[in-house]
């Protein structure tokens, strides 16, 4: 079992990592929302390993890695990154981070990378689960992405909430360089939906349009498609 510090400005991502790593037998001794807090929590708690987001307010993950490693060169830091942040990931690795994990991540991937980093320096590790359970995956993200080249389909599940918009955007950004991009939002059998949440998704859809993407919206509840059309997004 290792003592781990989770650093991310997203409460949802911190929660997901906490669930995954706790189930794998590790102890989460602290959490931080930005790089400055990460440094303070590292000094205070001396964790065995840090998971570090890249894009955060006040101090980003790359700067935090540099600050921590400059004073604690043996620190074990794993970066948590969106696919479009490769340059920043490489900068973090060059500054002393040990490895990285791409969002959206699976429980197996997180545990595998964390345990490998710990094992590489002789730290005791928890046993990796043989399979991710359906419960694990549903706890992580109430959406499902299927992609075939530039054709992307996003299935929104009933439990989707405003806190899931940023992880969804992070996941979709990796497709923005594919042309011609076509993104289909499938609300499947979702029947009851808050329009304020649809508005958040419309903002995400606008980001896709701004990147020259085309949109489709599918829903059994036709009020959803009518509402999206009324906003002029499709």
Distance CA 107, CA 131 (A): 9
pLDDT digits 0-9 by tens, 212-231: 999 999 988 888 889 999 99
Q: Does residue 184 belong to any structural domain of this protein?
A: yes
In-domain check, residue 135:
no
Q: Is residue 30 part of a domain?
A: yes
Identify whether 128 is part of a domain: no
Same domain, 17 and 113: yes
Pair (212, 109) in one structural domain: no
* Domain identity same for 172 and 99: no
159 part of a folded domain: yes
152 and 79 share one domain: no
pLDDT in tens, 97-134: 999 998 878 888 898 889 888 887 776 555 444 444 44
Compute CA distances 111 → 57, 95, 166, 174, whole Å: 27, 23, 23, 23
**Sequence-distant (≥ 6) Cβ neighbours of residue 231 within 8 angstroms:** 199, 202
β-partners of residue 28 are 4
Q: In the sheet where 99-102 sits, what is the strand order? A: 27-32, 3-7, 49-53, 77-81, 99-102
Domain match, 112 and 32 both: yes
CA separation for the pair 42, 77 (Å, rounded)? 11
Q: How many folded domains does the chain comprise? A: 2
Show Cβ contacts of residue 163 under 8 Å, excluding neighbours closer than 6 positions: 10, 11, 12
Kindly report the average pLDDT of the chain as a whole number. 86
Residues 8 and 86 in one domain: yes
Q: Could you tell me the residue range of the domain that residue 114 belongs to? A: 3-120
Q: Within this chain, do residues 13 and 54 fall inside the same structural domain, yes or no?
A: yes
Domain finish residue from 85, 120, 155: 120
Tell me: do 34 and 93 sit in the same domain: yes
DSSP 211-222: TT-EEEEE-SSH
CA distance 135 to 202: 28
Give the CATH number of the domain where residue 68 resides: 3.40.50.2300
Q: Answer yes or no: is 112 within a domain.
A: yes
In-domain check, residue 127: no
- Note the pTM of the prediction, 2 decimals: 0.60
Pair 114, 145 in one domain: no
**Separation CA 166–CA 229 (nearest Å):** 22
Task: With respect to residue 79, please indicate whether it lies within any of the assigned structural domains.
Answer: yes
Please indicate, yes or no, whether residues 158 and 199 belong to a single structural domain of this protein.
yes
Q: How confident is the model at residue 158 (pLDDT cuts 50, 70, 90)?
A: confident
Backbone angles phi, psi at 50, to 5 degrees: -125, 135
Residues whose CB falls within 8 Å of the CB of residue 215, separated by 6 or more in sequence, listed in order: 182, 183, 184, 185, 205, 208, 209, 233, 234
């Amino acid at each position: 079992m290792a003592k781990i510090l989770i650093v991310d400005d997203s409460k949802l991502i911190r929660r997901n990592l906490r669930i995954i790593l706790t189930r794998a037998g590790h102890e989460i001794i602290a959490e931080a929302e930005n790089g400055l807090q990460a440094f303070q929590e590292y000094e205070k708690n001396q964790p065995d390993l840090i998971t570090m987001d890249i894009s955060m307010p006040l101090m980003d993950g790359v700067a935090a890695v540099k600050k921590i490693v400059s004073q604690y060169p043996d620190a074990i830091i794993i970066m948590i990154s969106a696919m479009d942040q490769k340059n920043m990931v490489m900068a973090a690795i060059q500054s002393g981070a040990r490895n990285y994990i791409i969002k959206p991540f699976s429980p197996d991937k997180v545990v595998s990378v964390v345990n490998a980093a710990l094992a590489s320096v002789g730290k005791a590790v928890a046993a990796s689960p043989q399979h991710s359970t359906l419960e694990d995956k549903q706890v992580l993200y109430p959406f499902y992405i299927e992609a075939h080249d530039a054709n992307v389909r996003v299935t929104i599940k009933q439990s989707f909430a405003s806190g899931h918009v940023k992880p969804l955007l992070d996941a979709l950004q990796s497709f923005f360089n594919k042309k011609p991009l076509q993104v289909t939002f499938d609300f499947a059998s979702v029947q009851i939906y808050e329009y304020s949440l649809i508005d958040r998704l419309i903002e995400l859809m606008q980001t896709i349009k701004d990147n020259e993407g085309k949109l489709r919206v599918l829903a059994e509840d036709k009020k959803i498609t009518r509402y999206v059309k009324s906003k002029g997004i499709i």
